[in-house]
Amino acid sequence: MTVILDISRLISRVRYSTPSGVDRVEMAYARGLHALYGERLSFAAVHPSGVYGRLRQGAALTYLDELERRWSSVAAPDAAPPPRQRSLSSVMPQLAALLPTRRGVGSADDGCAPVYVQASPHHLTNAAKVRRILAREGARFLCLVHDLIPIEYPEYARPSGAALHRRRIETIASAIASTGGAAIVNSAATGRSLAPWLRPGTPIHVALLGTEALPSATGEAGDGRPYFVCLGTIEPRKNHLLLLHLWRHLAQTLPPAAVPRLVVIGRRGWENEQIVDMLERCPALVGHVEELGNCPDARLSALLRGARALLMPSFAEGYGMPVAEALSVGTPVICSDLPALREVGGDTPDYLDPLDGPGWKTAVMDYAGRGATHLAQQARLPGWHNPSWHEHIAIVARAIEGLSQNAGAPTG
């Protein structure tokens, strides 16, 4: 049996020092499937040069090692943080070593259908390219779908976001139908959104994303005031404005020493002018709100472990990785009452309506003062089940086995 894993996304991120959530997911697939299948796993990619092919496994693994080292690197306390993006000239040797070849493409001599696994949306807007790749490989398509938010909530996407994501989902649906493939979804909520796009009876496997072990760290003390963390790309869907307006209100109505701190961690995304204006120009937030766009894993771990709670007032989510990351290190969570977040958090977090400003204020002040609500969630924390990548990859492996053993050639 041949398993082909597409790592185009990771190769496209060769210049970046800080991973996105999708980067981490593709890395987890690479590590998990390689541990499971070893030499039976082939890495493949659409290279930044536009060429598709298989990668030499040794070169791919060396690159993955280097990428993980870069993600976990920590600048010295008195040094500048690593650059978010490296120069093109500095990564040319890596790009050259990762040039794909046609060696092995389309080879399967054991009578089992190859299975082509893709865990990122990379190049899925190009349906013709995906068709050519799958035809050359003679493979069934198994694709992880993260969410359909740009289609369901186009107001939170870039102007072209809904149309682009529609093309991705149409590509996925067509590729699954033509090859007799299947879908993996990160939550039952995503599965319900995806089902109408697929042929009736198409297998949809629900596999919660694993929670990566954050580095051991001591919680940051800061200036001694309690603090909260908001983690995620700065975009309208994440509802940062609710928190920023709340913190402005606290700063204007409480003595400075009584205002808890808010640490906003995440790169700046799109359609976020109002959020950025408040972060950069609101004088009331100075000294109370800190923005960290480039936060190495060790610093993130320290910040999460020392926080009174993670705050996640999102309007829509396909999953809730920050919820899982916080709970995994014993940090309480206050988040929106969304189906996907309940799948991740279970009965542990405190759930609020993302428009309930007074409710968020009450919760924040209770947690800042270690009140009854805060203590109640701390008592619930030991009962939370931590989703693991081992569990996720086991579900993916069962899907692969089912597709590979399904008699006959791909239907396309």
The pLDDT value recorded for residue 43 is 95
Q: Do the Cβ atoms of 175 and 134 come closer than 8 Å?
A: yes
pLDDT digits (tens, 9 = 90+) for 139-182: 999 999 999 999 999 999 989 999 999 999 999 999 999 999 99
Tokens (6 digits) for 132: 């050519």
SS3 282: coil
| Sign for the pseudo-dihedral over CA of 90, 91, 97, 100 | negative
Q: How far apart are CA 198 and CA 192, in angstroms?
A: 11
Overall average pLDDT of the 72-100 stretch: 56
Asked if pLDDT for residue 397 goes beyond 90, the answer is yes
Judged against a pLDDT cut of 50, whether residue 394 lies above it is answered with yes
62 contact partners, CB below 8 Å, separation of at least 6: 97
32 found inside a domain: yes
Give pLDDT, residue 408.
54
Q: Which residue has the higher pLDDT, 103 or 3?
A: 3
Mean of pLDDT values over 15-40: 91
Q: How far is CA 30 from the centre of its chain?
A: 15
* Pair 95, 134 in one domain: yes
Coil, helix or strand for 64? helix
Q: Are residues 110 and 129 in the same domain?
A: yes
Residues 250 and 393 in one domain: no
CB 238 within 8 A of CB 232: yes
Q: What's the rounded mean pLDDT across residues 6-24?
A: 86
More confident residue, 157 or 294: 157
Q: Which residues are registered as beta bridge partners of 351? A: 335
99 or 159: which leads in pLDDT: 159
* Together in a domain, 260 and 132: no
> Is residue 308 domain-resident?
yes
Mark whether 235 and 264 lie in a shared domain: yes
The per-residue pLDDT for 77 is 42
Please give the average per-residue pLDDT across 298-302, as a whole number: 89
The reply to whether 222 falls in a domain is no
If asked whether residues 178 and 258 sit together in one domain, one would say: no
Nearest to 108 by CA among 139, 129, 133, 130: 139
Q: 150, 125 in Cβ contact below 8 A?
A: no
Q: Give residue-wise pLDDT tens across range 43-82.
A: 999 998 888 999 999 999 999 998 888 887 644 344 455 5
pLDDT in the model for residue 332: 99
> How far is it, in rounded angstroms, from Cα 60 to Cα 53?
13
For residue 5, give the DSSP letter: E
- pLDDT value at 5 more than 90: yes
Q: Say which DSSP state 113 is in.
A: P
Tally the domains of the chain: 2
Residues 166 and 262 both lie in one domain? no
* pTM for the full predicted model: 0.88
Question: Across the chain, what does the average pLDDT equal?
Answer: 90
Between CA 274 and CA 327 the distance in angstroms is 30
Least confident of 78-87, 260-269, 377-386: 78-87
Per-residue pLDDT, 78: 42
Average pLDDT over every residue of 126-141: 96
Residue 88 has pLDDT above 60, yes or no: no
The reply to whether 40 and 186 lie within a common domain is yes
Cα 375 to Cα 121: distance, rounded to the nearest angstrom: 40
162 shares a domain with 84: yes
Whether residue 43 is contained in a domain is answered as yes
Residues 325 and 229: beta-carbon distance below 8 Å: no
C-alpha distances (whole Å) from 183 to each of 8, 119, 165, 215, 349 are: 19, 10, 16, 32, 29
- Residues 6+ away with beta carbon under 8 Å from 321: 21, 209, 211, 344
Q: Is 264 helix (H, G, I), strand (E, B) or coil?
A: strand
55 and 111 share a domain? yes
Is 147 part of a structural domain of the chain?
A: yes
**What is the 8-class DSSP label of residue 218?**
P
Question: 112 is written with which tokens?
Answer: 């089992």
The answer as to whether 219 is a domain residue is no
What would the pLDDT profile of 352-384 be if each residue is shown by its tens digit? 999 999 999 999 999 999 999 999 999 999 999
Sheet with 52-54, edge to edge strand ranges: 52-54, 41-46, 3-6, 115-118, 140-145, 182-185, 204-206
Quote the domain boundaries for residue 130.
Answer: 3-210+389-405
Give the CATH number, domain containing residue 180.
3.40.50
At 72 the pLDDT is: 74
Amino acid, res. 188? A
- Model confidence over 203-238: pLDDT tens digits? 999 999 999 878 887 767 678 899 999 999 999 999
- Report pLDDT digits (tens) over 308-344: 999 999 999 999 999 999 999 999 999 999 999 999 9
Q: Residues 165, 291: one domain?
A: no
Q: What angle do CA 327, 333, 339 make, to 5 degrees?
A: 95
Residues 178 and 232 in one domain: no
The answer to whether residues 85 and 32 touch, using CB atoms and an 8 Å cutoff, is no
Does the pLDDT of residue 293 top 50, yes or no? yes
According to the model, what pLDDT value does residue 393 have? Answer: 98
CB-based burial of residue 52 (10 Å sphere; 0-12 exposed, 13-18 middle, 19+ buried)?
A: buried
Residue 158 resides in a domain: yes
Residue 394 belongs to a domain: yes
Residue 353 sits in a domain whose CATH number is 3.40.50.2000
